Structure 1
């Protein structure tokens, strides 16, 4: 487990992380989301002992990273895929890490095979593509067979097969009882991968909840109702509005009931004798819910999205 308690990190007059407290539990993939500049990378660097907190603490299994005798056997991390000496081969890079942590050389070959780099293991890192560098970084994280894993943008530069492989790998690691903490900007991928989400903005925790609860916060959740009976839909809309439901008439044959349930809408339609061709819940996507939750926390905005901050 990763425990972050009252963590604050300042750089001169800028507060990168502002008194956050998080527990990242074993047996789950926990997604770490937030706009650029929200404090995600800083938090991960503090966990890994690369930055010192201004106040508060981050521990792994109750211990600070700097106190671990064999850190790679406890924690594996991919924070910077290009953090490799360009003149070293992928295998030599992993061997140097293995020797410093008492890990046998045969484990190097195992992880190279696992990440798909066995055929280019002796190639110098400066010749690696971005995707190959990502795979080498993942191999580094897996090298010590650790209980806790941190990944910062692990699918950056990977093709479709690689993205799918990372997704299944993280799910497998969590199913083995490990702690998996992953930061990503790919909402569709996070929706398929994470069990729990921690969303931060401007250094503060906005939401820490299961995936389903985060998506349920989206305003675009609605019951979709389609019927060939336009007058019947008119009656149904009036009845639902009379019961304080928010009803949107999308077309003569379709309604969206924003704050209703499938059961309640179906029951009302049956009572009114309205024939239905479709009755289904349309949920917000993670991306839609995330955009709403972080609307006031975006530091850098494009023309298509204006910050309220």
Structure 2
């Protein structure tokens, strides 16, 4: 188990980790999520004693990392896969680690086979691809058969087969009762892998909860609607009391309504539909909503027509509904007169 209380780290005036409290428990995969610069890597370095906290404390199974007699047998970590001497073979790299922690030589062959590097075990690591280097780093983490494992972006450089392999490996290790703490930017992968989440932004812990509860609390389901009569439809659905947002791809997001209700309402008013599909809440949506204010760097998308420059945050989709009197509809939204016919003021 990993236990942090009031964990704080400053780099000059920069606060990298700000009084972080969280617990990573055994028997489940805990995802560590946050935007770039949120403090994920610094937190992992503090756990491993690679950096020293200015305030607070963090322990592994009740001890500080520096107090562990054979650390690789208690904590396995992948923080930087390329932290290997390029002239050393994969086998010799792992053998050096094994000897330093009293791990039997046979374990080197076992982990090389486990990560699929047995055929290149005697080749210099400088010739390894990014994915091969990642597998070697994972082998190093597994070398001491530890009860606590920490992975920072473990799928980086892996092909689809490798991603599936590491996902299943982490689940298997957690099922054995081990503590698994994994940082990743891939929301789709975390949704498939993590049972529990710790979310950090600007050094502060924003959430610590199950993945299911996190999505339910920070994202909502909606219905995606496409129609050649988007303006009339948007106004109509708004008048029924449903929240409607205009999407950039000229579709609507409708909240609080079922697909059958939207379809029946459109049919009753003679409006055509080209798409009517329910959209379930996702981890990505929940993450973006919770951490939007914690993102330090926002890039514009060239040619996206939004006018959003690099460093600016795009505005949320506009709600669709009757505008103030005398106003004009947004581009792509046809106007509607009081009798429901196109043309005239959008009022």
Structure showing greater radius of gyration is: 2
CA spacing shift, 1:281–1:175, aligned 2, 3 Å: farther
Between the aligned partners of 2:15 and 2:312, the Cα distance in structure 1 is 19
| Partner SS state of residue 295, structure 1 | helix
Q: How much is the aligned-residue C-alpha RMSD, in angstroms?
A: 3.1
Deviation (angstroms), 1:257: 5.2
Using the size of structure 1 for normalisation, the TM-score is 0.84
Between the aligned partners of 2:32 and 2:252, the Cα distance in structure 1 is 35
Between the aligned partners of 2:196 and 2:240, the Cα distance in structure 1 is 34
Between the aligned partners of 1:144 and 1:185, the Cα distance in structure 2 is 27
Contact 2:86 2:125 in 1 (8 A): yes
Between the aligned partners of 1:67 and 1:207, the Cα distance in structure 2 is 29
The reply on whether 1:87 has 2:81 as its aligned counterpart is no
Deviation (angstroms), 1:300: 1.6
Between the aligned partners of 1:117 and 1:168, the Cα distance in structure 2 is 18
1:52 corresponds in structure 2 to 52
The reply on whether 1:282 has 2:284 as its aligned counterpart is no
Give the structure, 1 or 2, with the largest relative contact order (CA under 8 Å, sep 6 or more). Answer: 1
| Partner SS state of residue 181, structure 2 | strand
Contact 1:194 1:211 in 2 (8 A): yes
Contact 1:224 1:282 in 2 (8 A): yes
1:160 corresponds in structure 2 to 160
1:195 corresponds in structure 2 to 195
Between the aligned partners of 2:212 and 2:285, the Cα distance in structure 1 is 13
1:212 corresponds in structure 2 to 212
Deviating above 3 A after TM superposition, structure 1's stretches of 4 or more consecutive aligned residues are: 217-220, 223-226, 236-240, 245-250, 254-257, 278-281, 304-308
Between the aligned partners of 1:137 and 1:88, the Cα distance in structure 2 is 14
Alignment deviations for residues 276-309 of structure 1 (CA, whole Å, 9 cap, x no partner): xx9986322211211111111111221148566x
2:300 corresponds in structure 1 to 303
Between the aligned partners of 1:255 and 1:203, the Cα distance in structure 2 is 36
Contact 1:296 1:307 in 2 (8 A): no
Between the aligned partners of 1:149 and 1:240, the Cα distance in structure 2 is 52
Between the aligned partners of 1:39 and 1:143, the Cα distance in structure 2 is 27
2:186 corresponds in structure 1 to 186
Deviation (angstroms), 1:246: 3.4
Alignment deviations for residues 155-183 of structure 1 (CA, whole Å, 9 cap, x no partner): 11111111111111111111111100000
CA spacing shift, 1:179–1:18, aligned 2, 3 Å: same
Contact 2:299 2:312 in 1 (8 A): no
Between the aligned partners of 2:122 and 2:71, the Cα distance in structure 1 is 26
1:177 corresponds in structure 2 to 177
Q: Which runs of 5+ in 1 are unaligned?
A: 227-232
Between the aligned partners of 2:246 and 2:66, the Cα distance in structure 1 is 59
- Superposed counterparts of 1:118-157, under 5 Å: 118-157=118-157
Deviation (angstroms), 1:238: 8.3
Alignment deviations for residues 48-105 of structure 1 (CA, whole Å, 9 cap, x no partner): 0100000111100110010001111100000010111111110001011111111101
1:229 corresponds in structure 2 to none
Contact 1:46 1:53 in 2 (8 A): yes
Using the size of structure 2 for normalisation, the TM-score is 0.75
Deviation (angstroms), 1:247: 5.7
